Chain A
């Protein structure tokens, strides 16, 4: 079951286990410079507003009504990241696609989990996802571009501008695997030699076309290897959601509300001395990244190839403040 409250999508599986709950939200953020340099993690600037498709069905295309799900507004060339909030320790395997292109492998969307190559992230081990996994420890930021202009991942990899948006499916861990793991952890806490280490370190544990997500600048972020293995996941239970992305005008027409204001440019933000973040969380192995995704043109590169004016607000930045964060403190919010 997926519920929407306070702009958070909460996935819960009471039929599997009372603790099988996690939520995610879509964070507004800076668009990092698309200059082939590896950037630190940008801040969260508050979450995007989310609305039920059903609540505004009369003003949305019939195909969106058929998809169901939710929608959010993004300006062209605005970036987002997905923030996973765990209510406890219950693990989930979460598949994420943009325009039905798997953000981890670059393969076409399927609901199936695979471990060769791994096509999902593990929550809560994975605190967030900022983009497409292009190489080990490196992603290209999710940047909204209109479908049909050739920038989005789906257009670059399939040649078609058909789906847009984000697609998400979550599988909970099998209840018996979770119970066994919890019992083992409890015994380790009671009898193990190094309780403190265990707690601090990651225990193995009616618009025409919507917007799509294109690969933006490079960012240092690892997608972590599944520490539990494919057999740990309860494949009989899954919840999925289609997240449509509207541009600001479409959003205002559908809802009667204006979207949030545009985020500051990365350069303005950095000049103001505001912090970037570096995550030193996990000792888990990182996935290698996808050659398909790495072969895509970034928005800036595509802009040049198409002979368009250079991407605005794309000045290089040199952060003055970089805040290191770890697994125990996963807050990426700047204080203004």
Chain B
């Protein structure tokens, strides 16, 4: 699903039960112009900055990492983690890419044996 249509669908669903989820009120709470948010929802505008996406995720009770992924962004936090050990994490992600969800739900940590 596209970022804009996902935001719109979520907001409209919330608005059905709570009028505070109008475009105008959501835009006001996250600190953008209503017209800007409306364009984003219609796909006429690129997704906003990471900070705005995080505020939007919080306002709509969505997972920020999922929203960032839909927006084609990698969070600054994730970038920092990968930059610290790029080879290791690149290799790890490639190895995990094709595994089914149930296989990667748990990280198995082996106790290292040494020289004694």
Shortest CB–CB separation between residue B105 and chain A, in angstroms? 13
Q: CA of A239 to CA of B113 in the docked complex: distance in angstroms? A: 8
Within 8 A of A (CB), among B16-44: none
Contact check, B109 vs A68: say whether CB atoms are below 8 A apart: no
Contact check, A66 vs B109: say whether CB atoms are below 8 A apart: no
Question: Which of chain A's residues have a CB closer than 8 A to the CB of B113?
Answer: 2, 68-69, 239-242
Question: Which of chain B's residues have a CB closer than 8 A to the CB of A167?
Answer: 116
Shortest CB–CB separation between residue A294 and chain B, in angstroms? 27
Contact check, A52 vs B111: say whether CB atoms are below 8 A apart: yes
Does B108 count as interface, using CB distance less than 8 angstroms?
yes
Q: CA of A330 to CA of B31 in the docked complex: distance in angstroms? A: 60
Question: Which of chain B's residues have a CB closer than 8 A to the CB of A9?
Answer: 111
CB-CB nearest in chain A for B116: A67
CB-CB nearest in chain B for A70: B111
Does B112 count as interface, using CB distance less than 8 angstroms?
yes
Within 8 A of B (CB), among A84-135: none
Shortest CB–CB separation between residue A109 and chain B, in angstroms? 9
Does B115 count as interface, using CB distance less than 8 angstroms?
yes
Shortest CB–CB separation between residue A48 and chain B, in angstroms? 15
Does B110 count as interface, using CB distance less than 8 angstroms?
yes
Does B100 count as interface, using CB distance less than 8 angstroms?
no
Question: Which of chain A's residues have a CB closer than 8 A to the CB of B116?
Answer: 66-68, 163, 167, 242
Does A325 count as interface, using CB distance less than 8 angstroms?
no
Question: Which of chain A's residues have a CB closer than 8 A to the CB of B112?
Answer: 52-54, 68-69
Q: CA of A53 to CA of B111 in the docked complex: distance in angstroms? A: 9
Q: CA of A68 to CA of B109 in the docked complex: distance in angstroms? A: 13
Contact check, A4 vs B114: say whether CB atoms are below 8 A apart: no
Shortest CB–CB separation between residue B115 and chain A, in angstroms? 5
Q: CA of A18 to CA of B77 in the docked complex: distance in angstroms? A: 39
Does A236 count as interface, using CB distance less than 8 angstroms?
no
Given A68-B112, A69-B113, A70-B111, list of 13 further CB < 8 A pairs? A2-B111, A2-B113, A3-B110, A3-B111, A4-B109, A52-B112, A53-B112, A66-B116, A67-B116, A68-B116, A240-B113, A241-B113, A242-B114
